[in-house]
Structure 1
Amino acid sequence: MAKQKLRPKIVKLCKVVGGLTGVVNKIDENAPEYYALASILTDEEADVAIAAGLRKERPLEYLVKKTGMPEKKVKELADHLAWIGVFRVTTNPVTKKDQYFMQIFAPGIMEMLVNNQELLKTHPEVGRAFEEYTRIRMANMSPMMPNGYGLMRVVPVESAIQDIPKAHDYDKLSYYINKYEKFSVSPCSCRASRRTLNDGCGHLEEDMCIQMGKGAEHYIRTGRAREISRDEVYEIIKRAEDNGLMHDMPNIEEAGESAAICNCCACSCFGLRIGLMYGARDMIRSNYVAKIDETKCVACGQCVENCPGNALKLGQKLCTSEPITPPEYRKMRDSLWTKKDWNPDYRENREDVAETGTAPCKTACPAHIAVQGYLRLAAEGRYRDALALIKKENPFPAVCGRICNHRCEEECTRGNVDEAVAIDEVKRFIADHDLNAETRYIPPMVNQIGKPYPQKIAVIGAGPAGLSCAFYLAEKGYSPVVFDKAKRPGGMLMNGIPSFRLEKDVVEAEIDILKEMGVEFRCGVEVGKDVTISGLREEGFQGFYLAIGAQGGRKINVPGEDVKGVVSGIEFIKEVNLGSGTKLSGKTVVVGGGNVAVDVARTAIRVGSGNVEMYCLESPGEMPAAADEVEEAAREGITVHHSWGPKEILVKDGKAAGIVFKKCTDVFDENRRFAPQYDEDDTITVECENILLSVGQSIEWGALLDGTKVELNKNGTVKADPLTYQTGEPDIFAGGDVYSGPKFAIDAIAAGKEAAISLHRYVQPGQTLTMGRDRRNYRALDKSSALVPLDCFDADKRQIPGYNAAKAKSFGDTRTTFTEEQVRKETARCLGCGATKVDGYLCVGCGLCTTKCEFDAIKLEMRTDMKPVQAGTFETIPIKVAGHVVKKVGKIAVKNGKKLRK
């Protein structure tokens, strides 16, 4: 394609709008301001815009005089420029006539171009131009700008500064809101631009930017926004804060003047990018900085995950044998800044945890639940708040309080002193409030638009992964439909775990909460057989989550295993749970050494087998089953025989009559890979009537994937992205056991939440699956160097749950829930390892962190007293900045000189 000739009038207009910086900016066909305007303006419109000049209120008569065009013509052109977004049009309060104002490119014209949704649809290049302009032009400007001079400035959450006596009116949103009478709300222009580039972060644009006064009048008149009341303004601001969005305002007028409030996310906002990508934190920051009270902080992580500037990180509270010093790094304010100092990947490389690590319990949990946080809340008797905090990561605390393999306890620092805190028992006590309809916690819907999303999402599989995904989708405002071929939802929670470990009314109670949140269940429907994925697409479903679990058993591949009397342990438990009347008589041998094998053995006793023995490959130290479950089996008379593998099943009259085992000499090879070795000559024969095989689980796909591009690995698990869980079919995601292979419920629950994040992004136009996404890379503190407080030795011993002997060998749960007194004693044993750390330089003082803390542990303090643009206007910025640059260069020179002398 031939290179197009530059249009001189568009070039001139770009220079005019660019102000002093526009004089030095190179304007060619690739300049974002040029191609944006050249694609939508005529030369006559450019003439009218040039005549108006920059940032002056111009009546129609002035434009007529300057252009020499007929009044009717100028009126048409000026009104069209206002509709496009080059002009702001308002009514002069004195003359009652229209007046026109041409703002700078950003904040100003670029936003108004993008906020013209009809224009953006037909000219998507204006969205690209907005992104490029704010990236390219700000790069050179950012190192020169002092605190208080950014073209956009952060305004703190008002509740965070309401108790600060010296807080100025111009630092409070209410000052501006109460000052004006006319308000409007429009889509966020930054996010709209990102959407057109298919570069969105999952934060959506609708109803996010608020205009006031003249800005509102213009936006309403030109169809960019809808008029709202003052009360609606406050509602939108509160909703923004609930969704983790901070407040930003144009900073080009005198103190106390502004026409807009932006509710921004750091992962899409072009104004905040100046601080995050280029490192110009001083340019955008407010007058305030966050401070942590470590005595109150419990490292729950809510402030950290919501901090737009990544200034907060989870660290440790415990003292160490070697002092921890914060890492040093270059800062723009005292360095000659170059491109090498930029952080171009700031949307993907944020860190939640300090280099020295944080609380091991939160780190070890696959869902990274705020263990330290809910223990503190429970200690204070705030059980409902504790339940709410747990459900931010785990919708099924009552279930997990009974069956979790509690990796948090395995890593608990308290275990280095005496015994780990009984975290799961406390969780069970808290979560039992969910079993009562009067006390259960149902989270409110939290999304940016304040109403449900219409997109249809199908979850296939009603086990822990699918239910977790559905829960977080519903919390976000979707109404997911969960399909399951079983007659009731719950998956392995209902069918694969015996009731003496997980009573089914517990599962049903937590599923009832999903129903109340708007989740629809279609049970008895096998996708791939009764309905297909392509058929569901025709019904309007836009996203799918495959979470059918690993509900099949595995064979042991020895002679005789297909005869009567040899049954998969998984199928055996499923039949018992479904109430099929399964009975066993005689001796039963269970092959396997995992938790499921223990469940199978204990179930066999309960359905009539008088003698149950387990045989496994592993030695006692290698056996994968949890120690407490093995102890419960022993209490019921079940014997475990170690280091034996099946060789042959003996058959008599077509039925199993016994099993031959061979000695297992090694289970793993030198790389700890499963590779059992046997002594074929060392065998034993065990006579029995029943053989239950529990040597692993398999995924039964059926016809579910027929007609899709989803691929499987050799072991039958699905191929999917490890961060987003997206498969080879873009609208299909997968997680839980079908992705990872058989794991624990908490692993599936964690995967389900991540899938919900991906599905939200996928079904919303123009959103990426990765940009601005928290990778949640946790690392634990070094327990070996931690110094525990001396008073921890005064705490009570670990509390032990009671045992209900009346339920022994029945299908009732013999374990009793802690009493309130036990909870009080147990929570007092927590050492409180973690605490949030603030990097004061990175903190821009938005105050969002204060809205997320349930412990009153973080507050804002005033650190500067800078007025907006230092009580000047846009026109005064270049002169004032020049003086700042001279001073900065001088200070750096002196600093470097001192270093050289040293």
Structure 2
Amino acid sequence: MAEERELILKLGQKITDRIGVKVTTKDPEYWGLAGVITDEMAEVALSMKVRAPATAPQIAKKCGKSLERTEELLQEMSVIGLIEYNWENKDHVKQYILPMFVPGCAEFMMMNEKQVEEHPELADFFENMSRLPLEKITPMVPLGGAGIGMHVIPVEQAIPATQQSVSVEHISYWLKKYENKYAVGACSCRRQQRVRGEGTGEIEGELCIGVGDMADYLVETGKGRYIDLNEVLEILQRAEDNGFVHQITNIDGEDKIFAICNCAPGVCNALRTSQLFNTPNLSRSAYRASVESDKCVACGRCVEFCPTGAAKLGQKLCTKDGQVKYPQAELPDAVKWSKEKWDPDYRDNAKINCYDTGTAPCKTACPAHLPVQGYIKMASQGRYMDALKLIKNENPFPAVCGAICNRRCEDACTRGTIDEPIAIDEIKKFIAAKEINEKDRYIPKTVNHEGKQFEEKIAIVGAGPAGMSAAYYLRCKGYPVTVFEREDKAGGMLLNGIPSFRLEKDVIAAEIEVLKTMGVEFRFGIDVGSDVTIQQLRDEGYKAFYIAIGARGGRMAGVPGEDAKGVMSGIEFLNKVNKDEEHMKLSGKTVVIGGGNVAMDVARTALRAGSDDVSMYCLESRDEMPAAKDEIEEALEENISINNGWGPKEIITENGRVKAVVLKKCTSVFNAEKRFAPVYDENDTITIECDNVLLSIGQQIIWGNLLAGTKVELNKNGTAKADPVTYQTAEPDIFVGGDVYTGPRFAIDAIAAGKEGCVSIHRFVHKGHSLTLARDLRHFIELDKNNLDIEEYDNAKRQRPGRKSGDAASTYRDLREIFTEEQLKTEASRCLGCGATVVDPNKCIGCGLCTTKCEFDAIHLSRDLPDASRMTKSEDKLKKILPYMIKREIKIKFNKDKK
């Protein structure tokens, strides 16, 4: 055990602002200093008064050291971060200050990167000193913070011009006050969390701006660099774009600040007071946000960026009991406050998206949780490009999904309880088609919060919807991304597994072209595992892998005769047709086994490939069939017969070729637990003569040698084992998504998985970041459609798109038209506008970020709490706290007596 150092104990006791604490060697005030401060430095510091400026000669006289030695020590202590300095005196002489721990030396020490790497305990030291002094005092702090810490300052454009404001509430005021005296350095809080292993994906970067003499201090001690006003404004804008909260220091009164911070929710020690302690008075601005429900379309952008979880999605429609009443967080103004009132899971709870009573069913039901109400409203206003951008926040392939989505949003649509659901997919298809036909297409920005590219190379294996979605969002974050694809084109099953009459190849190509323009690199004709291994790619510098090769293999039935000529899996058949429509032909009679969407595609393609007659046989009853209703209807319109309740027993062959298929009666498909467990009557059979049998009874993943040499484990069905939230496998740098994790699903499921893969990989490649902490789990709840009071609505009928001329059964072209503009507006008017954001005023800190994300002018700040703009010197904090504390105690007693 190290020997107790008396001078360090005294120094820790001197600086701490924990009330009534006798510092020991077990306290952070001691061990936070002991590793970096020498006893000689402690002697100098102990000769100084806390927050009282003194020149080097004055300090030398008090500590009894020579001026030369004192200046050497003061310089070393400044670099370490124990002290700061300025020239704020009439003679402009350099003077040194021994600050408090926070704001002060604990965070200055964190700014010295090399020092922190050598002494990681400084991260725990900073975390403790930003939390422990506040645990007892925070509930007693009045609006304005009483000169204790940091103060939220709103996004300037969010401050209403119609309301009176004071100068200190404007960033521009402070920038003008410290004109031409700015420096930028890394964020202490982000670094602290990264070193502690509790990073939340917010990379420390250069985000904290020192002003005035603090700028000189940062540069001269190696903690920052000078910047001009233009770069300051760029940093502030990037901060707002990324959802970071502007805060200014609030310990020097109304005439002085020394920093403007751009704070990350869930990371910032100052914002923690509003969340962990549930005591927003310490840091909130004078403003609070509120929503104009009539304008709100529940797109969720404000919710996504709200730093405290004050904004959540709720419903706009009235229930049978009237308007929904939403809960508000309890405040300590008139209530005894203790740990039971804290929220230890505040980082995760701030990411809860909606109230328990639910929100719009369309957003809830969509696997990617698209802002359906939002893009419908924009489309109705003719804002097509804005609508597209809104969609692409969640789905980079709206044209693809407009053609093939299984429309779970429409199945859930509230309008369907009145007449018919909104034609959501047709509206999306119209928006996407508008953009595809534009000369200048929407290309997202590809930079991160630092305004430059990340260096970590990411490899995507598989150019299907999951892989390309991950590539898109990783590229948006500024990563160098390479997609490896064994085929000679991108698209995966979109290209090779879906016939052109449902999804034209030029539609796929157009949306993939956006990725190429963004800078995503595609390397075709490379089979990872055979042509190059995962380890070889690691050796080339790739830091993480997202494997999304899809389920490209078709399953066979395992019945006699299925190896005969003329028998093929449906997936193989579709692949061949998609690669060569002109020459892949069938003749005679074709039997398709299966009842899902793929089977429908196979049957309809077989007709176009030349079959004289196509019939389908599946286990399920018509009501149980997994195929979409519209696909069943289209197959029937093309005279494809659908026969329910039959499964394959044997394929009869002649001279090695299929002659007929024997089918047996299926008496039940699912067991009592609703699991697939078909039961047959082996004696009840039929024999169907045919020339071709196409088996569309499932898909399988063909791994090849891809996973050789890795620790990735597989399930019995061939899917990869991975964490259900992060998609990380047993090999830490390998993530999976899409069909290789879930088994065969729909494109929109894969797209949603790709975005989540991006979130995980971003956190993984930066050491010290948790894959789950403060992660948005994208959990939405559907409102109760059976408890709505809907009296007024547009009574227009659901619109149907037209069809191009031609015989559908004889062409591979997609004959479906898109809506006309008139149809689009008519259909958009049918939307009931179910959802809306609701803001809890007790959790809102008035940062204004929500207003910058709203595209509908539906959320605004109002200056409800003018007292919150008071700025106080730290030395005067008790003058502010004591009167408020007395008033609060009276309120508490009154409430107790009342009860």
TM > 0.5 fold call: yes
Equivalent residue runs for 1:676-825 within 5 Å: 676-790=678-792, 792=793, 794-806=794-806, 808-809=808-809, 810-825=811-826
**Aligned-residue offset at 1:96:** 4.6
**Aligned-residue offset at 1:645:** 0.7
Contact 2:646 2:664 in 1 (8 A): yes
1:363 aligns with 2:361: no
Equivalent residue runs for 1:515-526 within 5 Å: 515-526=516-527
Aligned CA distance change for structure 1 residues 713 and 867 (closer, same or farther; 3 Å):
closer
**Aligned-residue offset at 1:101:** 1.3
**Aligned-residue offset at 1:254:** 1.1
- Partners of 2:494 and 2:474 in 1: CA distance: 20
Q: Which residue of 2 aligns with 1:571?
A: 572
Structure 2 counterpart of 1:619, from 615, 618, 621:
621
Worse-matched range after superposition: 850-859 or 104-113: 104-113
The one-character-per-residue Cα deviations of 1:815-837 (angstroms, maximum 9, x if unpaired) are 00111111010000000000000
Amino acid at match of 2:75: D
1:883 aligns with 2:896: no
The share of aligned pairs that are identical, in percent, is 51
- Partners of 2:840 and 2:337 in 1: CA distance: 20
Equivalent residue runs for 1:345-744 within 5 Å: 345-350=345-350, 351-436=352-437, 438-579=439-580, 581-744=583-746
Amino acid at match of 1:153: H
Q: Which residue of 2 aligns with 1:129?
A: 125
Q: Which residue of 2 aligns with 1:270?
A: 269
Structure 1 counterpart of 2:72, from 47, 67, 76:
76
Contact 1:242 1:446 in 2 (8 A): no
Worse-matched range after superposition: 457-466 or 767-776: 767-776
- Partners of 1:879 and 1:269 in 2: CA distance: 27
- Partners of 1:573 and 1:26 in 2: CA distance: 77
Amino acid at match of 2:343: N
Structure 1 counterpart of 2:176, from 175, 178, 185:
178
Amino acid at match of 1:176: W
**Aligned-residue offset at 1:153:** 1.3
Contact 1:13 1:46 in 2 (8 A): yes
- Partners of 1:872 and 1:349 in 2: CA distance: 31
Residues paired across the two proteins, number? 892
Worse-matched range after superposition: 333-342 or 404-413: 333-342
Amino acid at match of 2:249: P
Contact 1:398 1:434 in 2 (8 A): no
1:14 aligns with 2:12: yes
- Any idea what SS the aligned residue of 2:586 has? coil
Contact 2:646 2:663 in 1 (8 A): yes
Structure-2-length-normalised TM-score? 0.98
Aligned CA distance change for structure 1 residues 807 and 813 (closer, same or farther; 3 Å):
farther
Contact 1:164 1:861 in 2 (8 A): no
Equivalent residue runs for 1:285-300 within 5 Å: 285-300=284-299
Contact 1:847 1:860 in 2 (8 A): yes
- Partners of 2:128 and 2:60 in 1: CA distance: 34
The one-character-per-residue Cα deviations of 1:817-868 (angstroms, maximum 9, x if unpaired) are 1111110100000000000001010111111100100000000000111265
Aligned CA distance change for structure 1 residues 87 and 367 (closer, same or farther; 3 Å):
same
- Partners of 1:108 and 1:816 in 2: CA distance: 65
- Partners of 2:12 and 2:542 in 1: CA distance: 46
Q: Which residue of 1 aligns with 2:333?
A: 333
- Partners of 2:347 and 2:447 in 1: CA distance: 23
Amino acid at match of 2:612: G
Q: Which residue of 1 aligns with 2:319?
A: 320
Structure 1 counterpart of 2:155, from 154, 157, 163:
157
Contact 1:335 1:892 in 2 (8 A): yes
- Any idea what SS the aligned residue of 2:683 has? strand
The one-character-per-residue Cα deviations of 1:165-201 (angstroms, maximum 9, x if unpaired) are 3111101111101111300010110001111112101
- Partners of 1:388 and 1:273 in 2: CA distance: 33
Contact 2:585 2:610 in 1 (8 A): yes
**Aligned-residue offset at 1:92:** 5.5
**Aligned-residue offset at 1:39:** 0.8
Contact 2:301 2:853 in 1 (8 A): yes
Amino acid at match of 2:298: A
- Partners of 1:390 and 1:788 in 2: CA distance: 28
- Partners of 1:163 and 1:420 in 2: CA distance: 41
- Partners of 1:750 and 1:201 in 2: CA distance: 20
The one-character-per-residue Cα deviations of 1:235-290 (angstroms, maximum 9, x if unpaired) are 10010000011111111111142110110112100111111011111221110100
- Any idea what SS the aligned residue of 2:368 has? coil
Contact 2:462 2:548 in 1 (8 A): yes
Amino acid at match of 1:10: I
- Any idea what SS the aligned residue of 1:192 has? helix
Aligned CA distance change for structure 1 residues 140 and 5 (closer, same or farther; 3 Å):
farther
Amino acid at match of 1:426: I
- Partners of 1:10 and 1:671 in 2: CA distance: 67
- Partners of 1:556 and 1:118 in 2: CA distance: 63
**Aligned-residue offset at 1:439:** 4.0
Amino acid at match of 2:83: F
- Any idea what SS the aligned residue of 1:24 has? coil
Contact 2:410 2:421 in 1 (8 A): yes
Q: Which residue of 2 aligns with 1:210?
A: 209
Structure 1 counterpart of 2:94, from 98, 110, 118:
98
- Any idea what SS the aligned residue of 1:52 has? coil
Q: Which residue of 1 aligns with 2:167?
A: 169
Contact 2:328 2:842 in 1 (8 A): no
- Partners of 1:80 and 1:162 in 2: CA distance: 47
Equivalent residue runs for 1:814-893 within 5 Å: 814-866=815-867, 868=869, 870-893=870-893
The one-character-per-residue Cα deviations of 1:559-592 (angstroms, maximum 9, x if unpaired) are 1111111100000000111117211110000000
Q: Which residue of 1 aligns with 2:241?
A: 242
Amino acid at match of 1:169: S
Amino acid at match of 1:122: E
- Partners of 2:868 and 2:560 in 1: CA distance: 84
* Runs of 4+ with deviation above 6 angstroms: none
Worse-matched range after superposition: 303-312 or 82-91: 82-91
Q: Which residue of 1 aligns with 2:137?
A: 141
- Partners of 1:312 and 1:369 in 2: CA distance: 18
- Partners of 2:404 and 2:651 in 1: CA distance: 33
The one-character-per-residue Cα deviations of 1:624-664 (angstroms, maximum 9, x if unpaired) are 11111111111111110111111111111111101011111
Which ranges in structure 1 are unaligned for 5 or more consecutive residues? none
Q: Which residue of 2 aligns with 1:111?
A: 107
- Partners of 2:789 and 2:19 in 1: CA distance: 61
Contact 1:795 1:828 in 2 (8 A): no
**Aligned-residue offset at 1:446:** 4.4
1:282 aligns with 2:278: no
- Any idea what SS the aligned residue of 1:787 has? coil
Q: Which residue of 2 aligns with 1:40?
A: 36
Contact 1:434 1:510 in 2 (8 A): no
Structure-1-length-normalised TM-score? 0.97
- Any idea what SS the aligned residue of 2:13 has? helix
Contact 1:176 1:256 in 2 (8 A): no
Aligned CA distance change for structure 1 residues 359 and 92 (closer, same or farther; 3 Å):
closer
- Partners of 2:131 and 2:718 in 1: CA distance: 46
Amino acid at match of 1:623: M
Q: Which residue of 1 aligns with 2:895?
A: 895
Which ranges in structure 2 are unaligned for 5 or more consecutive residues? none
Aligned CA distance change for structure 1 residues 887 and 92 (closer, same or farther; 3 Å):
closer
Q: Which residue of 2 aligns with 1:62?
A: 58
- Partners of 1:816 and 1:697 in 2: CA distance: 31
